[in-house]
Amino acid sequence: MSKLFSPAKLAGLTLRNRTVVAPMCQYSSQDGFASDWHLVHLGRFALGGFGLVMLEATAVTPEGRISYADLGLWKDEHIAPLSRIVDFLHGQGAAAGIQLAHAGRKASTPVHWRNGFDETEEEKVKFHFESWTPVAPSAVIHAEGKNFTKPEALDDTGIQHVIDSFVAAARRADRAGFDTVEIHAAHGYLLNQFLSPLANKRTDRYGGSRENRMRLVLEVTEAVRAVWPAEKPLLARLSVTDWHPDGWQVEDSIALTRELKARGVDAIDASSGGFDGAVIPTGAAYQVPLASAVRNQGGMPTMAVGLLGDAQRAEEIIANGEADFIALARGALDDPNWPVHIRHELGLHDYDLWPRPLNRVRERDRSLHQRGFAKS
């Protein structure tokens, strides 16, 4: 029996397997609204057999967007198009999650496939172009000469607004029917900025010691958990390390994980990096040791993510207790049918995970004598 394709339970949610689509920004929204692009983009992963499909970093405030083309959940009007996506995912047997995010000082940046802010006047109108001054723990720019803007430091009122905005977005996510929400505290965005001494230069109760730097993440978590239904799991995404000698380290994430667990978080999405000057040793499965450290020392189920996709290694990660879930982003873009494909690689030659309208693949395999119909 495959461990990867065994059901998994988080709080009151049972997932059909342990494969996850990680959040991936699409830069395809106008005024924060989901569109047909998002429906088709995300729906294909449910057809492909993933257990949980996570929507991209979704801004809890307009100024919290990475770019003007980001998805949002800062007003009630955003709920209906998101609910349409959730209903489709559920109809194909997948659970639906959404990542709640605030970009902090990495906000108001160009759409990544453009050459900076090169929109024509006509395009600015068409795509609802906006630019603004970001907010952050400290008035320190993310990086010079790379299309970032020097932010304004949040005061106490601004910090409370951030907390309230996460809460309001979580309530909307519940109304839209999502099975889980993920608090984004990774990749150098606002909550990660508060955690990391690379960005947090405050001298008040939100800065200085690790305890103080963790304060906002924990306050957001407590506030969201208070309104998020108890039977629905709450996730958190962490950059387990900044990959920088002066930044946030693995041992910091282990300490934070224990505090998040005490406040009702059900699993950690274990990623890394996000700050200028990081030296990241990328390679296949390079972040799995981070997920393992958080899981086995922090006492929390984890999602491994980052250049995964090999079937045998994915099975091994789950079987060995290195992580509890395998999350793909770019790998899912490359093969939206990854789960139904790797079931065969793992020797599970059934077609139960294929949606019924697509079950003609079975007849194709029989005719070609491949997969379970291969001649011995």
Q: Residue 301: name the closest of 18, 3, 5, 22 by CA.
A: 18
* Per annotation, catalytic residue among 68, 189, 206, 351: 189
3-state secondary structure of 340: helix
Q: According to DSSP H, which parts of the chain are helical?
A: 36-47, 79-91, 121-126, 156-176, 190-195, 210-213, 215-227, 250-262, 288-298, 311-319, 330-334, 338-345, 360-368
CB 11 within 8 A of CB 266: yes
Vertex 240: Cα angle to 239 and 244 (nearest 5): 85
Strand partners, 181: 98, 234
Widest Cα–Cα separation across the chain: 70
> CA dihedral defined by 86, 226, 267, 74, rounded to 10 degrees?
40
Comparing CA positions, the residue from 323, 317, 376 lying closest to residue 346 is: 317
CA distances from 216 to 171, 200, 205 (A): 19, 12, 10
Instruction: Specify the pairing of strand 13-15 against strand 8-10.
Output: antiparallel
Whole-angstrom distance, CA of residue 165 vs CA of residue 44: 30
Token pair 């992580």 in the structure block, residue: 323
In the annotation, is 189 catalytic?
A: yes
Residues serving a catalytic function are 189
